Protein backbone atom coordinates (compact mmCIF):
# COMPACT_ATOMS: atom_id res chain seq x y z
CA UNK A 1 0.00 0.00 0.00
CA UNK A 2 2.99 2.34 -0.45
CA UNK A 3 1.07 4.24 -3.14
CA UNK A 4 -1.10 5.68 -0.35
CA UNK A 5 1.91 7.65 0.91
CA UNK A 6 1.96 9.62 -2.36
CA UNK A 7 -1.80 10.09 -2.28
CA UNK A 8 -1.30 11.54 1.20
CA UNK A 9 1.42 13.86 -0.11
CA UNK A 10 -0.81 15.06 -2.95
CA UNK A 11 -3.69 15.59 -0.48
CA UNK A 12 -1.45 17.82 1.66
CA UNK A 13 -0.55 20.00 -1.35
CA UNK A 14 -4.20 20.36 -2.39
CA UNK A 15 -5.34 21.24 1.14
CA UNK A 16 -2.53 23.78 1.52
CA UNK A 17 -3.53 25.41 -1.77
CA UNK A 18 -7.03 25.72 -0.34
CA UNK A 19 -5.55 27.97 2.35
CA UNK A 20 -5.59 25.79 5.45
CA UNK A 21 -2.83 26.22 8.10
CA UNK A 22 0.31 24.25 7.29
CA UNK A 23 0.95 22.57 10.66
CA UNK A 24 -2.63 21.35 11.09
CA UNK A 25 -2.79 20.24 7.46
CA UNK A 26 0.32 18.09 7.81
CA UNK A 27 -0.69 16.50 11.11
CA UNK A 28 -4.39 16.19 10.30
CA UNK A 29 -3.88 14.60 6.89
CA UNK A 30 -1.34 12.16 8.33
CA UNK A 31 -3.69 11.13 11.15
CA UNK A 32 -6.58 10.69 8.71
CA UNK A 33 -4.54 8.40 6.46
CA UNK A 34 -3.19 6.52 9.48
CA UNK A 35 -6.74 5.95 10.70
CA UNK A 36 -7.74 4.66 7.25
CA UNK A 37 -4.74 2.31 7.26
CA UNK A 38 -5.40 1.03 10.78
CA UNK A 39 -9.07 0.43 10.00
CA UNK A 40 -8.11 -1.41 6.82
CA UNK A 41 -5.40 -3.43 8.50
CA UNK A 42 -2.56 -2.21 6.29
CA UNK A 43 -0.94 0.35 8.62
CA UNK A 44 0.93 -0.51 11.83
CA UNK A 45 -0.19 1.75 14.70
CA UNK A 46 3.22 1.23 16.35
CA UNK A 47 4.55 4.05 14.16
CA UNK A 48 2.28 6.53 15.93
CA UNK A 49 3.54 5.39 19.32
CA UNK A 50 6.95 6.90 18.52
CA UNK A 51 5.50 10.41 18.15
CA UNK A 52 5.92 11.33 21.86
CA UNK A 53 9.61 10.45 21.58
CA UNK A 54 9.91 12.77 18.58
CA UNK A 55 8.25 15.61 20.46
CA UNK A 56 10.58 15.02 23.40
CA UNK A 57 13.53 15.00 20.98
CA UNK A 58 12.50 18.40 19.58
CA UNK A 59 12.17 19.79 23.10
CA UNK A 60 15.70 18.61 23.92
CA UNK A 61 17.29 19.70 20.64
CA UNK A 62 19.85 22.34 21.61
CA UNK A 63 20.50 23.33 17.99
CA UNK A 64 16.91 24.50 17.48
CA UNK A 65 17.24 26.97 20.38
CA UNK A 66 19.13 29.10 17.86
CA UNK A 67 15.90 29.73 15.92
CA UNK A 68 14.11 32.03 18.43
CA UNK A 69 17.42 33.70 19.35
CA UNK A 70 18.29 34.58 15.74
CA UNK A 71 14.71 35.71 15.13
CA UNK A 72 14.90 37.92 18.23
CA UNK A 73 18.17 39.43 16.97
CA UNK A 74 16.71 40.13 13.54
CA UNK A 75 13.47 41.65 14.78
CA UNK A 76 15.37 43.81 17.28
CA UNK A 77 17.71 45.17 14.60
CA UNK A 78 14.75 45.81 12.33
CA UNK A 79 12.95 47.79 15.05
CA UNK A 80 16.18 49.72 15.76
CA UNK A 81 15.97 51.23 12.22
CA UNK A 82 19.41 49.90 11.28
CA UNK A 83 18.37 49.30 7.65
CA UNK A 84 16.89 52.78 7.28
CA UNK A 85 20.08 54.47 8.48
CA UNK A 86 22.29 52.22 6.34
CA UNK A 87 20.28 52.87 3.20
CA UNK A 88 20.25 56.61 3.77
CA UNK A 89 23.99 56.89 4.37
CA UNK A 90 25.09 54.49 1.61
CA UNK A 91 22.86 56.22 -0.95
CA UNK A 92 24.55 59.50 0.00
CA UNK A 93 27.94 57.89 -0.52
CA UNK A 94 27.10 56.29 -3.89
CA UNK A 95 24.85 59.02 -5.26
CA UNK A 96 27.27 60.06 -7.98
CA UNK A 97 27.60 56.52 -9.31
CA UNK A 98 25.01 55.52 -11.88
CA UNK A 99 23.14 52.65 -10.31
CA UNK A 100 24.65 53.54 -6.95
CA UNK A 101 21.34 53.47 -5.12
CA UNK A 102 20.67 49.97 -6.48
CA UNK A 103 24.06 48.82 -5.25
CA UNK A 104 23.33 50.39 -1.86
CA UNK A 105 20.07 48.41 -1.71
CA UNK A 106 21.96 45.17 -2.46
CA UNK A 107 24.55 45.92 0.26
CA UNK A 108 21.90 46.85 2.83
CA UNK A 109 19.91 43.78 1.86
CA UNK A 110 23.01 41.68 2.45
CA UNK A 111 23.46 43.09 5.95
CA UNK A 112 19.74 42.74 6.66
CA UNK A 113 19.86 39.14 5.45
CA UNK A 114 22.77 38.45 7.78
CA UNK A 115 20.94 40.04 10.70
CA UNK A 116 17.35 38.83 10.19
CA UNK A 117 17.63 35.66 8.11
CA UNK A 118 13.90 35.95 7.27
CA UNK A 119 13.03 36.59 3.63
CA UNK A 120 9.56 38.05 4.14
CA UNK A 121 10.71 40.55 6.75
CA UNK A 122 13.67 41.66 4.64
CA UNK A 123 11.69 42.11 1.41
CA UNK A 124 8.91 44.05 3.13
CA UNK A 125 11.37 46.25 5.05
CA UNK A 126 13.47 47.00 1.95
CA UNK A 127 10.33 47.61 -0.11
CA UNK A 128 8.96 50.15 2.36
CA UNK A 129 12.30 51.92 2.77
CA UNK A 130 13.87 51.90 -0.68
CA UNK A 131 11.18 51.49 -3.36
CA UNK A 132 9.65 54.99 -2.98
CA UNK A 133 13.15 56.53 -3.01
CA UNK A 134 14.27 54.57 -6.08
CA UNK A 135 11.14 55.51 -8.02
CA UNK A 136 11.47 59.14 -6.98
CA UNK A 137 15.04 59.24 -8.28
CA UNK A 138 14.05 57.96 -11.71
CA UNK A 139 14.74 54.24 -11.48
CA UNK A 140 12.70 52.08 -13.84
CA UNK A 141 10.04 50.20 -11.83
CA UNK A 142 11.31 46.80 -13.04
CA UNK A 143 14.90 47.56 -12.06
CA UNK A 144 13.87 48.88 -8.65
CA UNK A 145 11.56 45.98 -7.77
CA UNK A 146 13.94 43.34 -9.14
CA UNK A 147 16.80 44.73 -7.07
CA UNK A 148 14.70 44.79 -3.89
CA UNK A 149 13.33 41.26 -4.25
CA UNK A 150 16.79 39.87 -5.07
CA UNK A 151 18.34 41.63 -2.09
CA UNK A 152 15.54 40.42 0.17
CA UNK A 153 15.94 36.76 -0.74
CA UNK A 154 19.60 36.81 0.29
CA UNK A 155 18.26 35.92 3.73
CA UNK A 156 17.99 32.35 2.41
CA UNK A 157 21.74 31.90 1.94
CA UNK A 158 23.63 34.59 3.88
CA UNK A 159 24.39 33.23 7.38
CA UNK A 160 23.12 33.29 10.05
CA UNK A 161 20.08 32.24 8.03
CA UNK A 162 17.08 30.59 9.70
CA UNK A 163 16.78 28.13 6.81
CA UNK A 164 20.41 27.06 7.33
CA UNK A 165 19.71 26.40 11.01
CA UNK A 166 16.71 24.22 10.14
CA UNK A 167 18.47 22.55 7.20
CA UNK A 168 21.52 21.83 9.35
CA UNK A 169 19.43 20.01 11.92
CA UNK A 170 17.46 18.00 9.32
CA UNK A 171 20.53 17.13 7.22
CA UNK A 172 22.43 16.05 10.33
CA UNK A 173 19.74 13.46 11.08
CA UNK A 174 19.50 12.41 7.41
CA UNK A 175 23.30 12.06 7.14
CA UNK A 176 23.51 9.82 10.19
CA UNK A 177 20.53 7.79 8.96
CA UNK A 178 22.20 7.26 5.57
CA UNK A 179 25.48 6.13 7.14
CA UNK A 180 23.75 3.75 9.56
CA UNK A 181 21.86 2.19 6.64
CA UNK A 182 25.22 1.55 4.97
CA UNK A 183 26.54 -0.25 8.05
CA UNK A 184 28.63 2.62 9.41
CA UNK A 185 27.88 2.58 13.15
CA UNK A 186 30.29 5.46 13.88
CA UNK A 187 28.77 8.02 11.52
CA UNK A 188 30.37 11.36 10.73
CA UNK A 189 28.36 14.46 11.56
CA UNK A 190 27.45 17.70 9.86
CA UNK A 191 26.51 20.75 11.90
CA UNK A 192 24.74 24.06 11.44
CA UNK A 193 28.15 25.71 11.78
CA UNK A 194 29.39 23.74 8.76
CA UNK A 195 26.48 25.06 6.70
CA UNK A 196 27.10 28.61 7.89
CA UNK A 197 30.75 28.44 6.83
CA UNK A 198 29.89 26.68 3.58
CA UNK A 199 27.32 29.34 2.66
CA UNK A 200 29.75 32.26 2.95
CA UNK A 201 31.45 31.98 -0.45
CA UNK A 202 28.27 31.15 -2.44
CA UNK A 203 26.45 33.97 -0.67
CA UNK A 204 29.17 36.51 -1.43
CA UNK A 205 29.31 35.19 -5.01
CA UNK A 206 25.61 35.98 -5.40
CA UNK A 207 26.07 39.47 -3.99
CA UNK A 208 28.95 40.07 -6.42
CA UNK A 209 26.90 38.81 -9.38
CA UNK A 210 23.97 41.06 -8.41
CA UNK A 211 26.21 44.13 -8.24
CA UNK A 212 27.93 43.21 -11.52
CA UNK A 213 24.54 42.97 -13.22
CA UNK A 214 23.52 46.42 -11.94
CA UNK A 215 26.77 47.90 -13.25
CA UNK A 216 26.17 46.28 -16.66
CA UNK A 217 22.62 47.66 -16.68
CA UNK A 218 23.93 51.12 -15.74
CA UNK A 219 26.09 51.06 -18.86
CA UNK A 220 23.62 49.37 -21.22
CA UNK A 221 20.48 51.21 -20.06
CA UNK A 222 21.61 54.38 -18.26
CA UNK A 223 18.11 55.87 -18.27
CA UNK A 224 16.81 53.00 -16.12
CA UNK A 225 19.01 53.95 -13.17
CA UNK A 226 20.13 57.57 -13.24
CA UNK A 227 22.83 58.99 -11.04
CA UNK A 228 21.76 61.33 -8.27
CA UNK A 229 23.75 64.05 -6.61
CA UNK A 230 22.44 65.29 -3.30
CA UNK A 231 22.26 69.09 -3.05
CA UNK A 232 25.21 70.51 -1.13
CA UNK A 233 23.00 72.17 1.47
CA UNK A 234 21.43 68.79 2.34
CA UNK A 235 24.70 66.91 2.78
CA UNK A 236 25.65 66.26 6.39
CA UNK A 237 29.04 67.59 7.41
CA UNK A 238 30.28 64.38 8.95
CA UNK A 239 29.18 61.96 6.21
CA UNK A 240 31.91 59.39 6.82
CA UNK A 241 31.29 59.57 10.54
CA UNK A 242 27.59 59.01 9.89
CA UNK A 243 28.35 56.05 7.62
CA UNK A 244 30.62 54.54 10.24
CA UNK A 245 28.01 55.07 12.94
CA UNK A 246 25.38 53.27 10.87
CA UNK A 247 27.56 50.51 9.41
CA UNK A 248 30.03 49.49 12.08
CA UNK A 249 27.64 48.47 14.91
CA UNK A 250 25.56 46.15 12.72
CA UNK A 251 28.61 44.82 10.89
CA UNK A 252 30.45 44.30 14.16
CA UNK A 253 27.53 42.35 15.65
CA UNK A 254 27.25 40.09 12.60
CA UNK A 255 31.02 39.59 12.56
CA UNK A 256 30.96 38.66 16.24
CA UNK A 257 28.20 36.09 15.67
CA UNK A 258 29.71 34.50 12.57
CA UNK A 259 33.30 34.85 13.76
CA UNK A 260 32.58 33.03 17.00
CA UNK A 261 31.08 30.15 15.00
CA UNK A 262 33.75 30.03 12.28
CA UNK A 263 36.69 30.08 14.67
CA UNK A 264 35.11 27.63 17.09
CA UNK A 265 34.65 29.98 20.03
CA UNK A 266 30.93 29.20 20.24
CA UNK A 267 28.32 26.85 18.87
CA UNK A 268 25.61 28.34 16.60
CA UNK A 269 23.19 28.29 19.55
CA UNK A 270 25.64 30.14 21.82
CA UNK A 271 26.44 32.61 19.03
CA UNK A 272 22.70 33.19 18.56
CA UNK A 273 22.50 34.12 22.23
CA UNK A 274 25.34 36.60 21.73
CA UNK A 275 23.54 38.03 18.71
CA UNK A 276 20.23 38.41 20.53
CA UNK A 277 21.88 40.15 23.49
CA UNK A 278 24.05 42.29 21.20
CA UNK A 279 21.02 43.37 19.16
CA UNK A 280 19.24 44.38 22.35
CA UNK A 281 22.25 46.43 23.50
CA UNK A 282 22.55 48.06 20.07
CA UNK A 283 18.88 49.04 19.99
CA UNK A 284 19.14 50.42 23.53
CA UNK A 285 22.26 52.43 22.71
CA UNK A 286 20.48 53.98 19.72
CA UNK A 287 17.54 55.01 21.89
CA UNK A 288 15.16 52.70 20.04
CA UNK A 289 14.22 50.49 22.97
CA UNK A 290 11.48 50.78 25.57
CA UNK A 291 9.15 48.36 27.32
CA UNK A 292 6.42 48.64 24.67
CA UNK A 293 8.87 47.94 21.83
CA UNK A 294 10.50 45.10 23.77
CA UNK A 295 7.06 43.56 24.28
CA UNK A 296 6.37 43.85 20.54
CA UNK A 297 9.73 42.24 19.69
CA UNK A 298 9.11 39.35 22.09
CA UNK A 299 5.58 38.88 20.74
CA UNK A 300 6.80 38.78 17.12
CA UNK A 301 9.58 36.37 18.02
CA UNK A 302 7.19 34.08 19.90
CA UNK A 303 4.70 34.10 17.02
CA UNK A 304 7.30 33.17 14.39
CA UNK A 305 8.99 30.59 16.61
CA UNK A 306 5.66 28.98 17.51
CA UNK A 307 4.84 28.71 13.81
CA UNK A 308 8.18 27.03 13.05
CA UNK A 309 7.93 24.45 15.83
CA UNK A 310 4.26 23.73 15.21
CA UNK A 311 5.10 23.00 11.57
CA UNK A 312 8.00 20.84 12.74
CA UNK A 313 5.67 18.73 14.91
CA UNK A 314 3.13 18.46 12.10
CA UNK A 315 5.87 17.44 9.68
CA UNK A 316 7.10 14.83 12.18
CA UNK A 317 3.65 13.25 12.22
CA UNK A 318 3.52 13.37 8.42
CA UNK A 319 6.93 11.72 8.00
CA UNK A 320 6.00 8.97 10.49
CA UNK A 321 2.89 7.99 8.53
CA UNK A 322 4.73 8.41 5.20
CA UNK A 323 7.40 5.96 6.38
CA UNK A 324 4.74 3.69 7.86
CA UNK A 325 3.33 3.25 4.37
CA UNK A 326 6.82 2.62 2.98
CA UNK A 327 7.01 5.85 1.01
CA UNK A 328 10.65 6.52 1.96
CA UNK A 329 11.72 3.12 0.61
CA UNK A 330 9.93 3.78 -2.69
CA UNK A 331 11.62 7.19 -2.98
CA UNK A 332 15.04 5.71 -2.29
CA UNK A 333 14.52 2.92 -4.79
CA UNK A 334 13.30 5.39 -7.41
CA UNK A 335 16.26 7.75 -6.99
CA UNK A 336 18.88 4.99 -6.95
CA UNK A 337 17.53 3.28 -10.09
CA UNK A 338 17.29 6.40 -12.25
CA UNK A 339 19.48 6.33 -15.40
CA UNK A 340 22.44 8.60 -14.87
CA UNK A 341 22.76 7.76 -11.18
CA UNK A 342 23.52 10.51 -8.72
CA UNK A 343 23.45 13.36 -11.26
CA UNK A 344 19.97 12.53 -12.51
CA UNK A 345 18.71 11.97 -8.96
CA UNK A 346 19.97 15.39 -7.91
CA UNK A 347 18.40 17.06 -10.96
CA UNK A 348 15.03 15.43 -10.24
CA UNK A 349 15.10 16.39 -6.54
CA UNK A 350 16.16 19.97 -7.28
CA UNK A 351 13.44 20.36 -9.91
CA UNK A 352 10.77 19.00 -7.54
CA UNK A 353 11.92 21.32 -4.73
CA UNK A 354 11.99 24.28 -7.13
CA UNK A 355 8.40 23.63 -8.21
CA UNK A 356 7.25 23.00 -4.64
CA UNK A 357 8.80 26.32 -3.63
CA UNK A 358 5.97 28.00 -5.55
CA UNK A 359 3.31 26.66 -3.18
CA UNK A 360 5.19 25.72 0.02
CA UNK A 361 7.36 27.85 2.27
CA UNK A 362 10.96 26.84 2.95
CA UNK A 363 10.00 25.62 6.42
CA UNK A 364 7.54 23.05 5.06
CA UNK A 365 9.98 21.90 2.37
CA UNK A 366 12.78 21.59 4.91
CA UNK A 367 10.72 19.56 7.36
CA UNK A 368 8.70 17.48 4.88
CA UNK A 369 10.70 16.96 1.67
CA UNK A 370 14.33 16.96 2.87
CA UNK A 371 13.86 14.13 5.42
CA UNK A 372 12.34 12.01 2.63
CA UNK A 373 14.92 12.57 -0.14
CA UNK A 374 17.94 13.49 2.01
CA UNK A 375 18.95 10.01 3.23
CA UNK A 376 18.73 8.58 -0.31
CA UNK A 377 20.92 11.31 -1.83
CA UNK A 378 23.44 11.24 1.02
CA UNK A 379 23.68 7.44 0.76
CA UNK A 380 24.70 7.98 -2.88
CA UNK A 381 27.77 9.92 -1.73
CA UNK A 382 26.50 13.50 -1.97
CA UNK A 383 28.31 15.91 0.36
CA UNK A 384 25.82 17.10 3.03
CA UNK A 385 27.17 20.67 3.18
CA UNK A 386 27.09 21.04 -0.59
CA UNK A 387 23.57 19.57 -0.71
CA UNK A 388 22.36 21.99 1.95
CA UNK A 389 23.72 25.03 0.11
CA UNK A 390 22.28 23.78 -3.20
CA UNK A 391 18.85 23.39 -1.58
CA UNK A 392 19.05 26.87 -0.03
CA UNK A 393 19.97 28.58 -3.31
CA UNK A 394 17.40 26.50 -5.19
CA UNK A 395 14.61 27.61 -2.85
CA UNK A 396 15.90 31.17 -3.05
CA UNK A 397 15.55 30.97 -6.85
CA UNK A 398 12.06 29.53 -6.50
CA UNK A 399 11.07 32.43 -4.24
CA UNK A 400 12.10 34.88 -6.99
CA UNK A 401 10.57 33.16 -10.01
CA UNK A 402 7.35 34.59 -11.50
CA UNK A 403 4.46 34.17 -11.25
CA UNK A 404 4.39 32.31 -7.91
CA UNK A 405 7.54 33.49 -6.11
CA UNK A 406 6.83 34.39 -2.48
CA UNK A 407 9.22 37.36 -2.55
CA UNK A 408 7.22 38.89 -5.41
CA UNK A 409 4.01 38.64 -3.38
CA UNK A 410 5.70 40.20 -0.35
CA UNK A 411 6.84 43.20 -2.42
CA UNK A 412 3.47 43.50 -4.17
CA UNK A 413 1.83 43.89 -0.76
CA UNK A 414 3.81 47.06 0.02
CA UNK A 415 4.44 48.48 -3.49
CA UNK A 416 2.43 51.54 -4.60
CA UNK A 417 -0.37 51.07 -7.12
CA UNK A 418 1.71 52.85 -9.78
CA UNK A 419 4.02 49.82 -9.86
CA UNK A 420 2.43 47.11 -11.99
CA UNK A 421 2.65 43.44 -11.10
CA UNK A 422 4.18 42.83 -14.54
CA UNK A 423 6.97 45.28 -13.62
CA UNK A 424 7.75 43.19 -10.56
CA UNK A 425 7.79 40.00 -12.62
CA UNK A 426 9.98 41.44 -15.39
CA UNK A 427 12.38 42.97 -12.87
CA UNK A 428 12.89 39.64 -11.12
CA UNK A 429 13.72 37.63 -14.26
CA UNK A 430 17.37 38.77 -14.67
CA UNK A 431 18.05 37.91 -11.05
CA UNK A 432 16.44 34.50 -11.53
CA UNK A 433 18.97 33.98 -14.32
CA UNK A 434 21.78 35.00 -11.96
CA UNK A 435 20.48 32.53 -9.36
CA UNK A 436 20.46 29.72 -11.93
CA UNK A 437 24.00 30.67 -12.96
CA UNK A 438 25.08 30.46 -9.31
CA UNK A 439 23.46 27.01 -9.04
CA UNK A 440 25.34 25.83 -12.14
CA UNK A 441 28.64 27.21 -10.81
CA UNK A 442 28.06 25.49 -7.47
CA UNK A 443 27.19 22.23 -9.23
CA UNK A 444 30.33 22.38 -11.37
CA UNK A 445 32.59 23.52 -8.52
CA UNK A 446 31.28 22.01 -5.27
CA UNK A 447 34.42 23.38 -3.62
CA UNK A 448 32.66 26.76 -3.46
CA UNK A 449 30.64 25.27 -0.58
CA UNK A 450 32.95 22.54 0.73
CA UNK A 451 36.42 24.12 0.69
CA UNK A 452 35.98 26.66 3.49
CA UNK A 453 34.40 24.25 6.02
CA UNK A 454 37.31 21.85 5.44
CA UNK A 455 39.78 24.58 6.39
CA UNK A 456 38.18 24.93 9.83
CA UNK A 457 37.98 21.23 10.67
Are the C-beta atoms of 128 and 414 separated by less than 8 Å?
yes
56 contacts: CB under 8 Å, gap ≥ 6: none
**Can you give the pLDDT at residue 248?**
80
**Can you give the pLDDT at residue 232?**
52
d(CA 126, CA 138): 18
Over the stretch 85-138, which tens digit does the pLDDT of each residue have? 777 777 777 767 788 888 888 888 887 776 666 666 678 778 888 888 888 888
Residue 101: closest CA among 142, 133, 141: 133
**Can you give the pLDDT at residue 179?**
82
d(CA 83, CA 279): 13
**Can you give the pLDDT at residue 116?**
62
d(CA 384, CA 198): 10
**Can you give the pLDDT at residue 338?**
83
Are the C-beta atoms of 112 and 279 separated by less than 8 Å?
no
Q: What is the pTM of this model?
A: 0.84
**Can you give the pLDDT at residue 335?**
81
38 contacts: CB under 8 Å, gap ≥ 6: 45
pLDDT tens sequence for the chain (457 residues): 778 888 888 888 788 778 788 788 888 999 999 999 888 888 888 888 888 888 888 888 888 888 888 888 888 877 777 777 777 777 777 767 788 888 888 888 887 776 666 666 678 778 888 888 888 888 899 999 999 999 888 878 888 778 888 888 888 888 888 888 777 777 777 888 889 899 999 999 999 999 999 999 988 888 888 876 655 555 556 667 777 777 788 778 878 888 888 888 888 888 889 888 988 988 888 888 889 999 999 998 898 888 888 888 888 888 888 888 888 788 878 888 888 888 899 999 998 888 887 777 777 788 888 888 888 888 888 899 999 999 999 988 888 888 777 788 888 888 888 888 889 999 999 999 999 999 999 999 999 999 998 887 7
Peptide bond preceding 160 in cis form (omega within 30 of 0): yes
**Can you give the pLDDT at residue 315?**
84
Amino acid sequence: MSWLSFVMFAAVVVILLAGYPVAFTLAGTALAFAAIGIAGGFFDAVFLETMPNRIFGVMNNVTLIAVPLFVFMGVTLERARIAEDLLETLSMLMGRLRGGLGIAVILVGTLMAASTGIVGATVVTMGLLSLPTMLKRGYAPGVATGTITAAGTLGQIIPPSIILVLLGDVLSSAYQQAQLAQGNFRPATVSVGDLFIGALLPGLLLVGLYIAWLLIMAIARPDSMPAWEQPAEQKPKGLWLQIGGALLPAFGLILAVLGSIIFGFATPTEAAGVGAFGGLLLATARGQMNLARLYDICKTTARFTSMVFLILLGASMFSLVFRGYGGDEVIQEFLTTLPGGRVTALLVVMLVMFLMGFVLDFIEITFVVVPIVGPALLAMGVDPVWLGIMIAINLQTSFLTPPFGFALFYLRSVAPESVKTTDIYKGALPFVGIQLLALVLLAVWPELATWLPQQFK
